[in-house]
Amino acid sequence: MRKSVVASLLVLGLAAAGAGMAEQAAVSGEHGMVVSVQYLASQVGADVLKKGGNAVDAAIAVGYALAVVHPAAGNVGGGGFMTIRFADGRTKFLDFRERAPQLATPTLFQDKDGNVIPGLSEVGYLAAGIPGTVAGFELAREKYGTFPRAALVNPAIELAEKGFPLKEGGDLDFIKEVLKDLAKDPEAARIFLTDGKNVPKAGTIIKQPDLAKTLKIIAAQGNEGFYKGPIADAIVAASDAHHGILKKADFERYVPHEREPVTCTYRGYTVVTAAPPSSGGTTICELLNIVEGYDLGKLGFHTAASIHVLAEAMRHAFYDRNSSMGDPDFVQNPIAHMTDKTYAKEIRAGIAEDKATPSASLGSVAGAAREGQHTTDYVVVDKDGTAVSVVYTLNDWFGSKVVATGTGIVLNNEMDDFSAKPGVPDAVGLVTGENNQILPNKAPLSSMSPTILVRPDGKTAVVVGSFGSGTIITSVAQVLINLVDYHMGVQEAVDQPRIHQQWLPDVIAYDKGAFSEQVARQLEAMGYKLSEGTIAGASETIVVGGDKVSAKSDGKIYGANDRRSPVGAAVGW
């Protein structure tokens, strides 16, 4: 197990901005910290903190900057969630998830025989939900920010006008992944491809003058300009021209929500996390409640016994998630039940010591959603101790792969997070129920889990998020477990290989090197099927008061950019 090295930087510090960096160190700051998957965006956030902005101000500025320098997932054409914990202990959860347009129906992506039409919910204007990011950032800024809007959007405008270099390990890789679809949309192709058809060379500077113009409208007019003015008009016109169903009234109707975060305790710490329409927080709490009954430290890191416990907890939590959760404006979510410690104890009683539980034995679920793996997350702590975790997304890389003419805005394909048809397992096998069927103005179920861990003494300990669909849930939980149960330093905790079990398919997916051959054979003897791959999801993480979670504070803030994000950076101040 490799050791994390803690580099103390008294002034603005930058770590791990280089592509493919295998060994990187946590960064420490005296006054603040920003960690995101793109080094330029992290720097924008740190600059806002340095100028006296609070963590909410910095989070908004990072969000707009990522829309420019990480266009595959950063966005103004998507949506997401923000968890805030103020220095005085108050917590807030902002829901700016996309909503289905008014003309959407449960059978939108089915043919006349009721078969799901491949790709229809993934590419093009029909795949897009009404974006929530601008409204969410405006809600956050008006209620909790201190800087004027323009000061938070201007750094993004500058980046869009001056351009940024495409790098391996960052958006260059994501362009390669979706080249065929990007090439089909003339606007997307013009902005992101060389000669409108080829993958750009590494180091190519991408300028986005149309997006700069759009950001100037947002800077000047906020929600008015986006939802009621020229930006909505341009998106609706493009949608009308390409068989979409997005209407001006859908934009005018869009409102973000301020909700109570889901909370639970884990070994004396308080977990403050995402509420529905994210399933993430509730599922993380159920998972942690189950594993809390075992001494993971004693079982050892990634032994057969500890992986068995983790996998069973994931299996049970995901079954409950998939069978019962949805948009809280449409569905009664069983949050109290799923986060109940007595319920966790009942589940533990049914877990055999040395035998895998067949997933099918838990039940079945009608309905499916092919959840996109391609989201982004970032975390901020300011000098007063206010902490912000944001996870926002276009769903897949470059969302629906379309850019409305003249706007520079990449639209999400979040409609794909709904169940396209009851009873059909999805492309990655993640199965959700009718609770998640498409209805007008409904939000699709999400896994995004911006999470904050609070010490028993009431001080913020950990600020964490992740990307990667359902693996967001298991990644955030494993980072917390690595910090709390295995006492790892923050860099080591995020860089560790992970496992993932999501009820169906009935396998444990695992990062290469997650455990030894001997452990693999032991798990197989217990009845597990194993699948080596790459567990998606950089978990950008901050630990406050020490490189490790501990009762004593050294007064510093430590940020770790996950090795899975080679162009990310922790920037401390």
Q: Which residues are catalytic?
A: 375
User: 1 burial class (0-12, 13-18, 19+ CB within 10 angstroms)?
Assistant: exposed
Residue 561 makes contact with ligand GLY by CB under 6 A: no
Which of 180, 262, 270, 236 lies closest to 453 in space, CA to CA? 270
Residues 450-489 that bind ligand GLY (CB under 6 A): 469
Residue 75 makes contact with ligand GLY by CB under 6 A: no
Q: Which residues of 176-190 are buried (b: 16+ CB within 10 A; e: fewer)?
A: ebbbebbbebebbbe
The stretch among 125-133, 231-239, 262-270, 443-451 that binds ligand GLY (CB under 6 A) is: 443-451
Smallest distance from ligand GLY to CB 375, Å: 5
Per-residue mark of binding to ligand GLY, 345-384 (x: CB under 6 A): --------------------------xx--x---------
Smallest distance from ligand GLY to CB 401, Å: 15
Q: How many angstroms separate the CA atoms of 558 and 548, rounded? A: 9
Q: What is the DSSP string of 379-439?
A: EEE-TT--EEEEEEE-SSTTTTS-B-TTT-PBPP-GGGGSBSSTT---TT-----GGGB--
Q: How many CB atoms lie within 10 A of CB 273?
A: 32
The tokens for 141 are 């800024």
Residue 411 makes contact with ligand GLY by CB under 6 A: no
Q: How many angstroms separate the CA atoms of 230 and 234, rounded? A: 6
Residue in the block written with tokens 């942690």:
288
Smallest distance from ligand GLY to CB 413, Å: 9
39 or 392, CB closer to ligand GLY? 392
Beta-sheet pairing, 205-206 with 164-165: antiparallel
Q: How many CB atoms lie within 10 A of CB 198?
A: 12
Residue 448 makes contact with ligand GLY by CB under 6 A: yes
Q: What is the DSSP string of 461-510?
A: EEEE---STHHHHHHHHHHHHHHHTS---HHHHHHS--EE--SSSSSEEE
335 or 448, CB closer to ligand GLY? 448
72 or 215, CB closer to ligand GLY? 72
Q: How many angstroms separate the CA atoms of 232 and 266, rounded? A: 44
24 or 446, CB closer to ligand GLY? 446
492 or 540, CB closer to ligand GLY? 540
Using CB under 6 A, count the residues that bind ligand GLY: 10
Q: Are 464 and 126 in contact (CB under 8 A)?
A: no
372 or 385, CB closer to ligand GLY? 372
446 or 482, CB closer to ligand GLY? 446
Q: Are 206 and 68 in contact (CB under 8 A)?
A: no
Smallest distance from ligand GLY to CB 316, Å: 20
Which of 62, 98, 74, 109 lies closest to 410 in space, CA to CA? 74
The stretch among 83-91, 133-141, 168-176, 446-454 that binds ligand GLY (CB under 6 A) is: 446-454
Q: Name the closest residue to ligand GLY (Cβ).
A: 446
Instruction: Find the DSSP H helices in 163-247.
Output: 171-177, 179-184, 186-192, 209-221, 223, 230-241
Q: Are 130 and 254 in contact (CB under 8 A)?
A: yes
208 or 469, CB closer to ligand GLY? 469
The stretch among 118-126, 237-245, 441-449, 538-546 that binds ligand GLY (CB under 6 A) is: 441-449
Which of 261, 193, 267 lies closest to 448 in space, CA to CA? 261
Beta-sheet pairing, 508-511 with 530-533: parallel
The tokens for 470 are 């359902």
Out of 447, 466, 522, 539, name the contact with ligand GLY by CB under 6 A.
447
Smallest distance from ligand GLY to CB 469, Å: 5
Residue 395 makes contact with ligand GLY by CB under 6 A: yes
The stretch among 295-303, 308-316, 426-434, 445-453 that binds ligand GLY (CB under 6 A) is: 445-453
Which of 201, 211, 64, 212 lies closest to 141 in space, CA to CA? 64
Residue 122 makes contact with ligand GLY by CB under 6 A: no
Out of 223, 393, 474, 501, name the contact with ligand GLY by CB under 6 A.
393
Out of 273, 446, 460, 491, name the contact with ligand GLY by CB under 6 A.
446
Smallest distance from ligand GLY to CB 395, Å: 4
The stretch among 127-135, 145-153, 216-224, 442-450 that binds ligand GLY (CB under 6 A) is: 442-450
Smallest distance from ligand GLY to CB 417, Å: 5
417 or 506, CB closer to ligand GLY? 417
Residue 131 makes contact with ligand GLY by CB under 6 A: no
Residue 74 makes contact with ligand GLY by CB under 6 A: no
210 or 417, CB closer to ligand GLY? 417
Smallest distance from ligand GLY to CB 532, Å: 23
Q: How many angstroms separate the CA atoms of 303 and 308, rounded? A: 8
Residue in the block written with tokens 């004027």:
148
User: 363 burial class (0-12, 13-18, 19+ CB within 10 angstroms)?
Assistant: exposed
Three-state DSSP state, 26:
strand
Smallest distance from ligand GLY to CB 543, Å: 24
Sites of contact with ligand GLY (CB under 6 A): 371-372, 375, 393, 395, 417, 446-448, 469
